[in-house]
Amino acid sequence: MFRPFGMHPVPLLAGVVVVIVAVQLGNWQLRRAEEKREIGVRIEQYAGATPQVLDSARGVQPPEWSRVVVRGRWLPEAAMYLDNRVLDRRPGYHVLMPLELTDASVVMVNRGWTAAGSDRAILPEVDTSGDEVEVVGRVVVPERDPFSLADQARDGQRWQFIDLDAYRAWSALSPGDWVLQQESEAADGLVRRWADPDLGEDTHRGYALQWYSLAALAAALTGYYVFRSFRKNAA
C-alpha cells in the first residue's frame, strides 16, 4: 500500500472527512439559528402591526404569525377538543371551533383553554354565541404528529393532535391549513394565555459550537498524526 511519508491513508482520510462533515453541520446549524432569529423578528413585527381584515378564507394562506380579523358565526357541532393540554398543572382541552364567514368559507379558530371535568367521558360545555362575532388572532400552522396515524387522532370530538386533513374528512368542512389563535377577549370562560413559540435559536448555536469543536479536535488529531509520521519518516 502506498504510504506517503510513512502515513497510513485511512486515518488521514478519516480525519479530513470528519473535519469537513463537522464544519458543514456546524454551518447548517448556524443557518438554522439565523432562520429562527428571522422568524422571531417577524413575530415581533406582526405583534405590533394592525391586524389584517379577512373577509374570505377561501384559498387564503396568511403569513404565519401574522394577525388577522375575521367575522362570522361559530359551528359548535364541528368543534375539536384538543386533549392533554395542561395549564397551571390542571388538565384540560384547547377548544378549536370552525368559524363560518359571510361567504361560507371556514376558519379554524383555537378559542382557548378549558379545564377537563371529573368525568373524562363528558366533554366540557363551552359558552358559544349564535350571533355573528368578530375574532382577532394570530395565524399558526400546526404540525402533525409524525408518529401517529390519522385514525389515531380522534375519538369523537376529542382529538390528540391537530390533523386538518383528518378533520376535513370528518367534518365535511374545508378550513385552510392554518389555525387562528384567538387573542380577542370574549365572555366564554376560556383562557387565552398564549406563549410565544420556543424557536430554539440558542439551541442551534449550541449545536453549531459542538460541531465546530469536533472539527477542531479532528483537525488537531489529524495534524498530530501527520506530524508524528513526518518525524518517524525523518528519523
Assess whether 133 and 222 both reside in one domain. no
Model pLDDT, residue 19? 94
Three cell numbers, residue 112: 382557548
Domain end: 149, 165, 182, which one?
182
Model pLDDT, residue 191? 96
Q: Which of 93, 109, 209 is nearest to 155 (CA)?
A: 93
Q: Is residue 191 part of a domain?
A: no
Assess whether 175 and 218 both reside in one domain. no
Assess whether 100 and 141 both reside in one domain. yes
Domain end: 167, 182, 197, which one?
182
Assess whether 72 and 115 both reside in one domain. yes
CA gap 163, 154 in Å, rounded: 9
CA gap 210, 233 in Å, rounded: 34
Assess whether 162 and 116 both reside in one domain. yes
Model pLDDT, residue 68? 96
Assess whether 38 and 53 both reside in one domain. no
Assess whether 176 and 96 both reside in one domain. yes
pLDDT digit string (tens) for the chain, length 235 residues: 445 555 677 778 888 999 999 999 999 999 999 988 888 888 888 888 899 999 999 999 999 999 999 999 999 999 999 999 999 999 999 999 999 999 999 999 999 999 998 888 889 999 998 899 999 999 999 986 655 555 567 788 999 999 999 999 999 999 999 999 999 999 899 999 998 777 788 899 999 999 999 999 999 998 888 877 777 765 5
Q: Is residue 201 part of a domain?
A: no
Assess whether 160 and 105 both reside in one domain. yes
Assess whether 107 and 130 both reside in one domain. yes
Model pLDDT, residue 146? 55
Domain with 14 in it: 8-42+207-234
Domain total in the chain: 2
Which conformational region is residue 189 in: left (phi greater than 0), alpha (psi within -120 to 50 degrees), or beta? left
> 217 exposed, middle or buried (CB, 10 Å; 0-12, 13-18, 19+)?
middle
Model pLDDT, residue 84? 92
CA gap 79, 90 in Å, rounded: 21
Assess whether 34 and 74 both reside in one domain. no
Q: Is residue 150 part of a domain?
A: yes
Model pLDDT, residue 74? 98
What end-to-end distance do the CA atoms of the chain give, in Å?
21
Assess whether 224 and 177 both reside in one domain. no
HEC-encoded secondary structure of the chain = CCCHHHCCHHHHHHHHHHHHHHHHHHHHHHHHHHHHHHHHHHHHHHHCCCCEECCCCCCCCCCCCCEEEEEEEECHHHCEEEEEEEECCEEEEEEEEEEEECCCCEEEEEEEEEECCCCCCCCCCCCCCCCCEEEEEEEECCCCCCCCCHHHCEECCEECCCCHHHHHHHHCCCCCCCEEEECCCCCCCCECCCCCCCCCHHHHHHHHHHHHHHHHHHHHHHHHHHHHHHHHHHC
